[in-house]
């Protein structure tokens, strides 16, 4: 064995090796031992081979078509070849570690399904890095742009569109968009998650400089908000050591490196940045060709063959040009959308950054290194020298003045093509902010850059709440940050209640609302009633006066549209006047909705926040007493609280977004404080299957030490 691999008292894997290459071998071994089911499922999905290898059904066929369309399984060797020999060696060594673990002990779950996995390769890790970068936040950006086209085709007036998407509709041609033929959505994103693909929904991170902490050392916090109603957890915690250095934190099984964590000298935390790296173009098609600058050109036709266990093979043709994959058949004359994501051919630069960050020692180095990552993230940093910083990442196209990238433009006009990308030093970034703290929560951070990469951020409520709390003290401790993780106070509710409170009916429900503390804790009746009001407000303003009630209910209850982009809708709902109010004043709308929505029995917020954690392969299919699924569990928080707590249905399935991993570290210590919604292992019969869940539910933090070797299990 090339590395010493042990567990500490919490079950966290520790890898100790002589060389860096062997260290990554150990990480591969540890990932395969603890998360082999998860890794192999990700690979099957990414390759579009679910029907062939695991579960042949019409739903699986739709999932395979989705991943074949994205084409992440191709051109991997080209990305690998771009890497220097050292980095190629790290990826190959990681793969060797994975295969060594599978040789010793292959996941029994797949044996039951008759699947014998092939060897893991470096290319598999590159493919997984693409998947993690897209699912589902880059995907949600693309879907919002698609929804906009559907809104245009539903004859929602331009005045209302301008109000809903201010500053984003440059060169909008409504007549042209109405001619676009939209294809069927290939697969609902919820299906991807049910089969094990991670959904990177939202997150918080913040860093506090030493002048504002009791110890005088910087404190860094991260709590990625991902889907938690599945087992295992997306994250795998690990400690990697080589020589006198270490690297520890949260990792993504299937890929070497640490995404959120620290070394002896540098710490970093990650959230998703809503950069717009996905564009669509309108293509004029006939006879299998597309028009460009007055000439007709052939599409590249990529034929994918999907093998099926129980049915005939399915061949699917994808038509591609410089604008991506066409949503339609160009042999049928008409206008179609072609869509391209900048990260579709990524991998080499991202892995170079993940390997280099392990050797960085300063915030400035960390910003410059991670700033190269090709997918969109917000990183905060702290180092032992006392510096803190923030860097946004992503390969984002530079667009013409007045063009945001939100509205599909004519593909036949070359001026609409991408020709360059925003550079690292042009992206939002800051070193040592004056207030000596910095927080990100998926909000608009364009003001920190030279060129704006964001056109559709999430709401700013969580970020505002974090910043407000960070201004209150100059002697922060780790315990103060732990308490912030548990904060369920809603600034969104505060702003709506300022308008609503004087208009509340003189009923028991109205009295509950008047005395509500604006917190989304499990026992809160105010939160329950406010959410009933908020949903009915959407139905009144955007349903009856725009989408139609049936479409509104579907988007609200069965999609993530209002989960991600509620800021755009709140802007209208909080405005004194709006074309969306149907000739009524805002107060009249609020009073009307309150009278209708609050005529219900008050219940607790926790009563509607119940969910079950389901096993990624066998969830919902086996008797409860076998213990593959766990629950019911009561979630807290709402869409705009620091502890986010969103539960909604998507394609008939329950979806949750909550802090999947909470992590805090203080510079000057070689420790991490964390809890995980689950446990280290994906094996139902391991005592580590959900060993951290009680800590997560009760905001208790386990301690991981860099020198915590010699634990309960050796390999």
CA 242 to chain centre: 31
Cα→Cα distances 127→78, 79, 287, 351, 373, Å? 12, 10, 34, 11, 15
CA 211 to centroid of chain Cα atoms: 32
pLDDT at residue 711 in the model: 38
424: closest CA among 396, 383, 385? 396
For every residue of 131-190, DSSP letters joined together read: HHHHTTHHHHHHHHHHHHHHHHHTT--HHHHHHHSTT--TT--HHHHHHB--------HH
β-pairing, 230-231 vs 610-615, is: parallel
Average pLDDT over residues 504-532: 97
Question: What share of the chain in percent tops pLDDT 70?
Answer: 95
DSSP secondary structure string, 235-267?
A: -EEEEEEETTEEEEEEE-TTS-S-SEEE-SSEE
Residue 443 CA, distance from chain mean position: 14
List the one residue out of 7, 17, 21 whose CA is nearest residue 92: 21
**pLDDT at 651 > cutoff 60:** no
Coil/strand/helix, residue 506: coil
Tokens of 169: 């509709």
What average pLDDT does this structure show over 560-581? 90
What's residue 95's pLDDT? 98
Residue 82 has pLDDT above 80, yes or no: yes
d(CA 210, CA 301): 57
Q: Name the CATH superfamily for 491-607.
A: Aminohydrolase, alpha-helical knob region (1.10.1400.10)
Q: What does the pLDDT look like over 42-58, one tens digit per residue?
A: 999 999 999 999 989 98
For residue 197, the model assigns a pLDDT of 61
State the pLDDT at residue 249. 98
- Give the 3-state secondary structure of residue 102: helix
Give the pLDDT mean for 62-73.
Answer: 89
pLDDT tier, 654 (very low <50, low <70, confident <90, very high otherwise):
confident
Lowest mean pLDDT segment, chosen from 99-103, 272-276, 282-286, 389-393 = 272-276
At residue 185, the pLDDT reads 46
pLDDT at residue number 187:
46
Over residues 490-499, the mean pLDDT reads: 98
Cα-flanking dihedrals φ and ψ of residue 654, to 5°?
-80, 135
Burial 48-80 (b: 16+ CB within 10 A, else e): bbbbbbbbbeebbbbbbbbbbbbbbbeebeebb
Q: Does position 170 have pLDDT exceeding 60, yes or no?
A: yes
Domain ranges for the chain, please list them: 491-607
First-residue to last-residue Cα distance in the chain: 9
Cis peptide before 333 (omega within 30 of 0): no
- The answer to whether residue 619 scores a pLDDT higher than 90 is no
Cβ atoms of residues 557 and 649 within 8 Å: yes
Q: Which is higher by pLDDT, 621 or 511?
A: 511
Arithmetic mean of pLDDT, 319-345:
93
**Measured in whole angstroms, how far is the alpha carbon of residue 49 from the centre of its chain?**
24
Q: For 247-261, write each residue's pLDDT tens digit.
A: 999 999 999 999 999
pLDDT for 114 beyond 60: yes
Instruction: Indicate if the pLDDT at residue 194 is higher than 60.
Output: no
**Torsion (CA) 195, 201, 207, 213 in degrees, nearest 10:** -80
| Range 99-118 average pLDDT | 94
- Token pair, residue 629, equals 């699924």
- 628-640 residue pLDDT tens: 999 999 999 999 9
- Sheet architecture: strand order including 13-17: 4-7, 13-17, 236-242, 245-251, 260-262, 266-272, 377-383, 388-392, 429-431
The length of the chain, given as a count of residues: 715
The two structure tokens encoding residue 692: 């951290």
Taking the model in full, what pTM does it have? 0.94
Distance CA 260, CA 608 (A): 32
Q: What is the DSSP letter of 234?
A: S
Name the average pLDDT for the chain. Answer: 92
Q: Could you tell me which of 643, 646, 635, 504 has the C-alpha nearest to residue 566?
A: 646
Alpha carbons 539 and 531: distance in angstroms, whole number? 12
Q: What is the H or E stretch that residue 233 is in?
A: none
Confidence of residue 388 (pLDDT cuts 50, 70, 90): very high
**Distance, CA of 115 to CA of 109 (rounded, Å):** 9
């Amino acid at each position: 064995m090339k590395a010493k691999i042990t567990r500490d008292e919490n079950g966290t894997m520790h890898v100790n090796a002589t060389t860096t290459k062997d260290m990554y071998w150990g990480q591969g071994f540890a990932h395969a031992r603890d998360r082999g089911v998860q890794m192999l499922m990700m690979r099957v999905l990414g390759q579009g081979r679910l029907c062939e290898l695991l579960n042949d059904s019409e739903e699986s066929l739709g999932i395979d078509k989705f991943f074949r369309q994205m084409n992440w399984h191709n051109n991997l060797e080209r990305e690998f070849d771009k890497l220097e020999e050292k980095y190629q060696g790290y990826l190959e060594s990681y793969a060797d570690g994975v295969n060594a673990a599978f040789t010793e002990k292959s996941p029994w779950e797949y044996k039951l399904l008759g699947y014998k996995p092939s060897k893991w390769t470096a290319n598999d890790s590159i493919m997984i890095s693409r998947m993690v970068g897209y699912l589902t936040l880059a995907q949600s950006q693309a879907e919002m742009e698609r929804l906009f086209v559907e809104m245009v085709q539903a004859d929602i007036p331009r005045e209302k569109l301008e109000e809903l998407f201010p500053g984003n509709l440059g060169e909008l041609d409504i007549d042209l968009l109405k001619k676009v033929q939209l294809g069927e959505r290939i697969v609902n994103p919820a299906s991807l998650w049910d089969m094990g693909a991670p959904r990177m929904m939202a997150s918080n991170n913040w860093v506090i400089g030493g002048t504002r902490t009791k110890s005088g050392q910087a404190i860094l916090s991260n709590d990625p908000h991902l889907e938690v109603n599945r087992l295992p957890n997306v994250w795998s915690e690990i400690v990697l050591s080589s020589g006198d250095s270490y690297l520890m934190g949260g990792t993504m099984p299937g890929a070497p490196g640490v995404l959120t964590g620290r070394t002896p000298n540098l710490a970093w935390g990650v959230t998703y940045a809503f950069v717009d790296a996905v564009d669509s173009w309108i293509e004029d098609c006939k006879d299998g060709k597309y028009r460009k600058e007055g000439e007709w050109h052939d599409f590249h036709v990529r034929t994918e063959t999907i093998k099926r266990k129980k049915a005939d093979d399915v061949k699917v043709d994808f038509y591609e040009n410089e604008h991506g994959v066409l949503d339609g058949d160009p042999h049928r004359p008409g206008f179609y959308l072609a869509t391209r994501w900048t990260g579709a051919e990524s991998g080499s630069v991202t892995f170079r950054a993940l390997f280099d960050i392990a050797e960085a020692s300063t915030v400035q180095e960390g910003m410059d290194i991670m700033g190269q990552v090709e997918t969109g993230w917000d990183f905060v940093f702290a180092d032992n020298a006392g510096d803190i910083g923030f860097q946004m990442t992503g390969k984002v196209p530079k667009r013409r003045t007045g063009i945001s990238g939100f509205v599909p433009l004519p593909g036949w006009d070359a001026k609409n093509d991408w020709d360059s990308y925003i550079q690292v030093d042009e992206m939002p970034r800051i070193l040592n902010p004056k207030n000596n703290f910095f927080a990100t929560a998926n909000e608009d951070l364009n003001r920190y850059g030279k060129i704006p990469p964001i056109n559709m951020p999430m709401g700013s409520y969580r970020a505002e709440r974090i910043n407000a709390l960070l201004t209150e003290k100059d002697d922060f401790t780790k315990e103060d940050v732990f308490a912030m993780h548990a904060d369920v106070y809603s600034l969104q509710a505060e702003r709506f209640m300022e308008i609503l409170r004087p208009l509340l009916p003189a009923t028991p429900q109205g009295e509950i609302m008047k005395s509500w503390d604006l917190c989304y804790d499990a026992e809160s009746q105010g939160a329950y009633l406010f959410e009933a009001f908020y949903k009915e407000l959407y139905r009144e303003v955007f349903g009856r006066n725009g989408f139609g009630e049936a479409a509104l209910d579907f988007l609200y209850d069965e999609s993530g549209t209002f989960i991600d982009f509620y800021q755009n809708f709140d802007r209208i709902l909080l405005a004194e006047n709006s074309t969306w109010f149907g000739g009524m004043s805002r107060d009249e709308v609020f009073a009307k909705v309150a009278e209708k929505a609050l005529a219900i029995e008050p219940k607790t917020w926790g009563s509607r926040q119940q969910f079950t954690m389901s096993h990624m392969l066998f969830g919902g299919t086996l008797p409860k007493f076998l213990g593959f699924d766990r629950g019911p569990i009561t979630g807290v928080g709402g869409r705009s609280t620091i502890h986010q707590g969103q539960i909604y249905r998507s394609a008939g399935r329950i979806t949750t977004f909550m802090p999947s991993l909470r992590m805090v570290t203080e510079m000057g210590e070689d420790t991490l404080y964390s809890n995980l919604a689950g446990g280290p292992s994906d094996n139902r019969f391991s005592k580590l299957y959900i060993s951290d869940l009680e800590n997560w539910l009760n905001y208790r933090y386990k301690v991981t030490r860099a020198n915590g070797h010699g634990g309960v299990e050796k390999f």
